[in-house]
Every structure is written in structure tokens, then in C-alpha cells.
């Protein structure tokens, strides 16, 4: 197994591992040490267009190949991902700081490639029985060139959950990694090459949102685009799509997820789970429960236990197996989180943490931070912080809890903790959220359930029973039968 850092990672365009055509690179730093990790190719406009052209040229043969044969390539890639899981964890870690001990994303990517390599047989059409004189059918057909734009917080996972269903359904792909975490994805580009995918079927480029992401969003030959990232970027992509060819756009966006804790909840379990939700990946998780609403009667008990647990996060070198609390992904994220913490100190009551550790650690570490009594209208309560920062506020009645939980532009994941089954279901039905956990919270999800956001958290759903639909057009065919 190769272990060296790809000092000059490559892009995969038309089956060739290449540098940027104009030789441009951008640096990626290890956020735990600020040492340089790699110089990464910055895809130019020409490179992006070349990747789309290669995908377009590869589409006829790939789509005609049939699912069983396509599945063979996906299976090979799944095996290679598993073989290289430790290296992929290390590469993500030295790019965006995830502790290797918590990095399971190469395995989830592999699971996606394995799953879809079997699932293609479930793609079927329909026939109507309500059309006298006609024989009818629907065909499910691939779009053609599909663009996939992924974020930095779990790159391997998003590569797998998007590319596998797009490829197995006969589309060809151009995937753009995030500028903050391109290293594991660049290594996967080598594995795609090793798996022997025909040239142009699966292209992988690296670079910033502009130019490469923007070019993909407005490209006339890209027929569908699946994006995971911030709501701000999602809106820009939607605008570009609307201005150009109205490509199909699937958006998985940000969150400000609430957890509602009623007085009859199992306190120990609730503290354990809600703390993990906001601590894992240093709070850089779209569905992290960043707002916790606790019933007043148990608030002080809950807050004390939560603080103790949260303060126990083990910050340190993310390559060390003992570490479970890494730095923020880069300086931009670090400064952004600190800005919100300063705002929180003015609007609420700081109960834990509140400090950046750059001076003492030389890395972009932020202490687990808790704010109490923060006004519902404050920026730190309303906006996505994307750090280990939680708001804990209180409520007295069920109606008040629901109103506070729903008073947000986001709607990705919500949780309710109570032993009262009727209340749990009442609240679950009332929450404006694409996912609701009852006596559990994020990141727990069911792999074959639809995942996606209400409101500004996105449009469309992903999941093992859903994602292939995102990459298939539906055509109705009718045939008139001559009367005997």
C-alpha cells in the first residue's frame, strides 16, 4: 500500500492523471500544524471543459454497456477503497484535520460502490392500465454528463454517495473536490485509474469554486448536477443552471439542527448523544445539533452533565489514534467560528470554552464551546457556525419548543428526546425537517432512507433507494394498437 503524501496530486481527465494545463497549483496546509501538505492542481477553464468533453465522448459506450458490466468497475473500485482506507484517512487528516480514529469514510464510499453495483437491477419502468387502445411504457434513461461538486467535511463519503449511483445508471461523471480537502480525492483518482474505468467515464478535477465549479454549473453539456455544500453556494449553482440549460440540480445544503429535550428524557443517553453530534468532526457536520432546547425543569442538570462531557473531548494531533477532537479545516473556518463566538459572547452567556488555540497549539483548534440564554434572533442562533459551538436554551411547553425549533431557515435534521410516545410522534410531525430522530440524534441515519433538507437546507433526496432516481430521466412511450 502506498503511504507517501502525493506532493503533487493529479487530476483524472479522459483516463489520464494530469496536472493543470497551465501548471497552476494551490497549497493545502495541515490545519493541525500549518505545515504544507501538498500543492494541488487548480483546474483551469480549459481543464474543466476538457473533462466535460471527455465525459460527453465516453457517454454513448458507457450507457450502452449495461448495468452488469458497469458494476464490475464499481466493485473493483470498492475493493481498492477498502485496501487504501488508512492512507485515505491520513490524506483527509493532513488536509482538513479530521482525526484518523473517527475517519470511516473510505469504508462508507466503498459500501456505496458495492451497493450500487448490485442495485441497478431495481431500475424499472412502468406501464399504464388506463389507456385503452394503447400499449404504454416508461423508460428510465441516464442524463449524459453529470457534474458532482462535493464539500470538504467528508470528501470520500460524498464521492461514493454521488458517483456510484450516477455511474451505475449509465451517466458519465465530472467530480470536483473541495479546495480545502482535495488530497484523498486525488488519491481516489489514482484508484479509479487502477480500477480500469474506460477513459472519460469518471473524471476527477480539483480547484476552487471559481473557475471550475462555476464552469460546471453553467456548462451546456452538463445535464444534471448534484451538489453538497453551503446554502450560499447552492443558490449560486441554481442560478447558473437557471441562466443556462436548466440542468437538473440536486442540493444538499447547510443546517442549524435543533434537539428538543423533554423532562422525561433519559438524561444520560441524551447528553451522550447530543454532545457527540456537535463534537464529532469538530462540529463541521451539516446535521450537527447546534441548537439544544431543554425543558426548564431539568435544564441545570442537563447543562452541567453536557459541559462535563463536552469538555472531555480529546484535542490533539489528528493522526494520533487517541485524538477525537481535531482542528477546524483551515484558517478561514477557524476565523469564521471565532467571529461567531465573539458575537455569542455579546448576545448570550458563555458557559464553556470560547477560545481559539492557535497561539498555544500552532493549529486551528477551537475549544468545545457552550452558550446559554442566547436570544432566538441572534446571529449565532440563526446562522450555521460549523464549529464545536452549541447553543443551549430552555422551554416550558411543547408548543414553545416546536416554535423555537422551527424558527429557522434551515430544516435538515431535528431530534426529540422524550419517553412519551404520543408526544414524540406529535413533535416529529410538527418539526419542519427532512429528518427527525426520536430518542436519537445526528449523525445517526438509516442508509436506505431518504436524506435531504426542508426549506433552505436543500432540494431533492439522497439515499440507497433514492439516489439512482436523481440521475435518470423518465420517458413515456405510447403505442397505438390497430383495431382487429
252 belongs to the binding site for ligand NAD (CB under 6 A): yes
Closest approach of ligand NAD to the CB of residue 8, in Å: 20
Catalytic residue ranges: 252
Map the footprint of ligand NAD across residues 265-304, applying CB under 6 A: 286
CA angle at 247 for the pair 243 and 248, rounded to the nearest 5°: 130
User: What are the residues whose beta carbons fall under 8 Å from the beta carbon of 383, sequence distance 6 or more?
Assistant: 256, 340
Could you tell me where the DSSP H helices lie in 84-154?
A: 85-96, 105-119
Closest approach of ligand NAD to the CB of residue 329, in Å: 8
Cis peptide before 211 (omega within 30 of 0): yes
Q: Which is nearer to ligand NAD, 140 or 208 (CB)?
A: 208
Residue with cell 480500477: 195
Q: Which is nearer to ligand NAD, 306 or 451 (CB)?
A: 451
Contact range with ligand NAD by CB under 6 A, out of 30-38, 231-239, 301-309, 355-363: 231-239
190 belongs to the binding site for ligand NAD (CB under 6 A): no
User: What does each C-alpha distance from 222 to 48, 226, 242, 303, 460 come to in angstroms?
Assistant: 11, 11, 13, 49, 18
185 belongs to the binding site for ligand NAD (CB under 6 A): no
Residue 206: half-sphere exposure toward Cβ, Cα within 13 Å: 33
Closest approach of ligand NAD to the CB of residue 20, in Å: 15
> In this chain, which of 166, 173, 191, 412 binds ligand NAD, going by CB under 6 A?
412
Closest approach of ligand NAD to the CB of residue 327, in Å: 15
**Beta partners for residue 480, in sequence order:** 134
> In this chain, which of 41, 144, 255, 344 binds ligand NAD, going by CB under 6 A?
255
214 belongs to the binding site for ligand NAD (CB under 6 A): yes
> In this chain, which of 229, 326, 348, 387 binds ligand NAD, going by CB under 6 A?
229
Q: Which is nearer to ligand NAD, 109 or 299 (CB)?
A: 109
Tell me how many residues contact ligand NAD (CB under 6 A).
30
CA angle at 116 for the pair 112 and 120, rounded to the nearest 5°: 170
- Rounded to whole angstroms, how far apart are CA atoms 134 and 215? 44
372 belongs to the binding site for ligand NAD (CB under 6 A): no
236 belongs to the binding site for ligand NAD (CB under 6 A): yes
Q: Which is nearer to ligand NAD, 134 or 210 (CB)?
A: 210
Q: Which is nearer to ligand NAD, 75 or 382 (CB)?
A: 382
Contact range with ligand NAD by CB under 6 A, out of 206-214, 334-342, 365-373, 441-449: 206-214
- Rounded to whole angstroms, how far apart are CA atoms 170 and 104? 28
User: What are the residues whose beta carbons fall under 8 Å from the beta carbon of 136, sequence distance 6 or more?
Assistant: 127, 128, 476, 477, 478, 479
228 belongs to the binding site for ligand NAD (CB under 6 A): yes
> In this chain, which of 293, 386, 435, 454 binds ligand NAD, going by CB under 6 A?
386
Residue burial 165-185, b: 16+ Cβ < 10 Å; e: rest = bbbbbbbbbbbbbbbbbbbbb
* Contact flags string 75-114 toward ligand NAD, x per CB under 6 A: ----------------------------------------
> In this chain, which of 59, 62, 116, 152 binds ligand NAD, going by CB under 6 A?
152
First to last CA, the chain: 69
| DSSP secondary structure letters along 327-396 | --SSHHHHHHHHHHHHHHHHHSEEEE---B-HHHHSS--B--EEEES--TTSHHHHS---SSEEEEEEES
Residue burial 103-134, b: 16+ Cβ < 10 Å; e: rest = bebbbbbbbbbbbbbebbeeeeeeeeeeeeee
153 belongs to the binding site for ligand NAD (CB under 6 A): yes
User: Which residues are at the interface with ligand NAD (CB under 6 A)?
Assistant: 149-153, 176, 178-179, 208-210, 213-214, 217, 228-230, 233, 236-237, 252-255, 286, 384, 386, 412, 453, 458
Amino acid at each position: 500500500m502506498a503511504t507517501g503524501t502525493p506532493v503533487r496530486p493529479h487530476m483524472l481527465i479522459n483516463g489520464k492523471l494530469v496536472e493543470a494545463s497551465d501548471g497552476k497549483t494551490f497549497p493545502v496546509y495541515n490545519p493541525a500544524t500549518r505545515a504544507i501538505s501538498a500543492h494541488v492542481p487548480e483546474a483551469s477553464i480549459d481543464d474543466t471543459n476538457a473533462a466535460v468533453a471527455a465525459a460527453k465522448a465516453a457517454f454513448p459506450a458507457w450507457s450502452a454497456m449495461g448495468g452488469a458490466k458497469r458494476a464490475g468497475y464499481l466493485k473493483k473500485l470498492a475493493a481498492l477503497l477498502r485496501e487504501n482506507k488508512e492512507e485515505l484517512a491520513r490524506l483527509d487528516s493532513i488536509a482538513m484535520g479530521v482525526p484518523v480514529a473517527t475517519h470511516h469514510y473510505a469504508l462508507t464510499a466503498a459500501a456505496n460502490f458495492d451497493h450500487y453495483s448490485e442495485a441497478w437491477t431495481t431500475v424499472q419502468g412502468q406501464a399504464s392500465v388506463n389507456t385503452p387502445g394503447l400499449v404504454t411504457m416508461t423508460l428510465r434513461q441516464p442524463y449524459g454528463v453529470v457534474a458532482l461538486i462535493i464539500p470538504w467535511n467528508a470528501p470520500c463519503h460524498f464521492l461514493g454517495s454521488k458517483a456510484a449511483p450516477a455511474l451505475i445508471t449509465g451517466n458519465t461523471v465530472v467530480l470536483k473536490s473541495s479546495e480545502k480537502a482535495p488530497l484523498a480525492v486525488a488519491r481516489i483518482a489514482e484508484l479509479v485509474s487502477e480500477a480500469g474505468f474506460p477513459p472519460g467515464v469518471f473524471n476527477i478535477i480539483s480547484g476552487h469554486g471559481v473557475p471550475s465549479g462555476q464552469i460546471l454549473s453553467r456548462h451546456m453539456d452538463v445535464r444534471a448536477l448534484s451538489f453538497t455544500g453551503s446554502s450560499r453556494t447552492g443558490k449560486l449553482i441554481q442560478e447558473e443552471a437557471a441562466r443556462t440549460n436548466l440542468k437538473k440540480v440536486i442540493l444538499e445544503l447547510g443546517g442549524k439542527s435543533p434537539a428538543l429535550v423533554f423532562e422525561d428524557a433519559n438524561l444520560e443517553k441524551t447528553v451522550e448523544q447530543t454532545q457527540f453530534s456537535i463534537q464529532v468532526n469538530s462540529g463541521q457536520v451539516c446535521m450537527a445539533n447546534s441548537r439544544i432546547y431543554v425543558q426548564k425543569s431539568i435544564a441545570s442538570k442537563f447543562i452541567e452533565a453536557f459541559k462535563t462531557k463536552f469538555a472531555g473531548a480529546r484535542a490533539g494531533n489528528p493522526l494520533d489514534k487517541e485524538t477525537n477532537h481535531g482542528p477546524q479545516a483551515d484558517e478561514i473556518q477557524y476565523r469564521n467560528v471565532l467571529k461567531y463566538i465573539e458575537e455569542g459572547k455579546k448576545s448570550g452567556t458563555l458557559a464553556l470554552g470560547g477560545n481559539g488555540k492557535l497561539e498555544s497549539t500552532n493549529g486551528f483548534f477551537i475549544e468545545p464551546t457552550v452558550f446559554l440564554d442566547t436570544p432566538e434572533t441572534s446571529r449565532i442562533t440563526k446562522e450555521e457556525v460549523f464549529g464545536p459551538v452549541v447553543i443551549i436554551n430552555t422551554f416550558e411547553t411543547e408548543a414553545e419548543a416546536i416554535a423555537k425549533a422551527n424558527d429557522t431557515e434551515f430544516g435538515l435534521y431535528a431530534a426529540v428526546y422524550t419517553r412519551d410516545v404520543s408526544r414524540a410522534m406529535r413533535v416529529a410531525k410538527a418539526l419542519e425537517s427532512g429528518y427527525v430522530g426520536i430518542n436519537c440524534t445526528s449523525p445517526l441515519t438509516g442508509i436506505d432512507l431518504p436524506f435531504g433538507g426542508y426549506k433552505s437546507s436543500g432540494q431533492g433526496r439522497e439515499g440507497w433507494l433514492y439516489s439512482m432516481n436523481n440521475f435518470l430521466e423518465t420517458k413515456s412511450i405510447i403505442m397505438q394498437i390497430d383495431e382487429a
